Amino acid sequence: MFSGLIADRATVHAVERLDGGGVTLHVACDEAVAKQIEPKDSICVNGVCLTATRISGNVVAFDVIPETLDRSTLGELKTGERVNFELSLRLGDRIGGHFVYGHVDTTARVLSRIGAGQGERVTVECPPNLSRFICEKAFISVDGVSLTVASVAPGRFDLALIPETLARTTLGERPPGSHLNIEVDSLARYAVAAVDGQTDEHSRAELEWAFEI
């Protein structure tokens, strides 16, 4: 489990494509040694929870299977590209974002980005299967970054990015047309599941009212 607060950016050292369709991803992180990363550690790379398999100096290797490649942008990574890199939470860590599991739902395309004050407003397409989980002021994980949805419109949602986010993550480097890894807030997923599980109309109405407030 992660917080979505990116402390480090890492660099793709190599992408080793395998005959079975998966890849071995090698990521260089200067903090790997300092933070004592070990094999079997869970690490969030661009929003995807991966398991470290080998450590060589400051380079961490991950096995990425076809299922993960199909649901995320990891298959598009190239040597030299920067990625968001977050170690899993430890008991007692301060949580300033929201609980991010690293289980990417899908990818979504950046539609536009414009300057807004000191930061930027980024519009992202809203996949139809996720629209019921995304609402204004809700949490969302975008490339592993914990963000608040600024507004929602049919087929799209907006993110208001502050200068700190633009400077510390890769979101400042994603032009219109590029794709982002999206993970909806698990609380929203559970809330929708609870409402859907109510067959009694009165109970359903009470739950919907409760979640709205």
Based on the fold, state whether residues 70 and 128 are members of the same structural domain. Answer: no
Output 18-22 pairs: Cβ under 8 A, ≥24 positions apart: 20/66, 21/66, 21/69, 22/63, 22/64, 22/65, 22/66, 22/69
**Residue 70 belongs to a domain with what CATH number?**
2.40.30.20
| 211 band by pLDDT with thresholds 50, 70 and 90 | low
Provide the number of structural domains found in the chain: 2
Same domain, 112 and 78: no
Q: Is 117 inside any structural domain?
A: yes
Same domain, 128 and 82: no
Residues 51 and 120 in one domain: no
195 within a domain of the structure (yes/no): no
* Domain end (from 87, 114, 149): 87
> H/E element holding 51?
strand 48-56
User: Could you tell me which of 128, 168, 127, 123 has the C-alpha nearest to residue 145?
Assistant: 168
**83 and 113: one domain?**
no
Query: What residues make up the domain containing 170?
Result: 106-190
Taking the whole predicted model, whether its pTM rises above 0.75 is answered as yes
Write down the pLDDT at residue 36: 84
128 within a domain of the structure (yes/no): yes
Whether 42 maps to a domain, the answer reads yes
Question: Mean pLDDT throughout 65-76?
Answer: 95
Residue 84 gets the label, from left (phi > 0), alpha (psi -120 to 50) or beta, of beta
Residues 116 and 69 in one domain: no
The answer to whether residue 95 scores a pLDDT higher than 80 is no
Q: Could you tell me which residues come within 8 angstroms of residue 114 by beta carbon, excluding any fewer than 6 positions away?
A: 120, 121
Q: Does residue 206 belong to any structural domain of this protein?
A: no
Task: Give the pLDDT confidence score for residue 202 in this predicted structure.
Answer: 54
Does the pLDDT of residue 209 top 90, yes or no?
A: no
Quickly count: other Cβ atoms within 10 Å of residue 7's Cβ.
12
Nearest C-alpha neighbor of 25 from the set 1, 2, 44: 44
Q: Which one of 30, 56, 87 terminates a domain?
A: 87
Q: Is 151 in a helix, a strand, or coil?
A: strand
Q: Is 112 found in the same domain as 83?
A: no
Mean pLDDT across 100-109: 94
Domain assignment present for residue 49? The answer is yes
Assess whether 129 and 185 both reside in one domain: yes
Q: Given the structure tokens 């992180």, which residue do they identify? A: 29
Residues 6+ apart with CB under 8 A from 39: 52, 53, 54, 55
Print burial letters for 103-112: b (CB count within 10 Å at least 16), e (below 16): ebbbbbebbe
Residues 62 and 134 in one domain: no
Residue at 71 is within a domain: yes
Beta strand 82-87 with 48-56 is unpaired
Helices (H), the chain: 31-34, 66-71, 163-168, 186-196, 201-212
DSSP 65: -
Residue 117 and residue 76 share a domain: no
Across all residues in the chain, what is the average pLDDT?
A: 89
The 10s digit of each residue's pLDDT in 129-177 is 899 899 999 999 999 999 999 999 999 999 999 999 999 999 999 999 9
Any domain includes 212: no
pLDDT value of position 89: 81
| pLDDT at residue 191, as a whole number | 77
Mean pLDDT lowest for which of 82-91, 113-122, 168-177?
82-91
What is the band of 190 on the pLDDT scale with cuts at 50, 70, 90? confident
pLDDT band at 30 (very low <50, low <70, confident <90, very high): confident
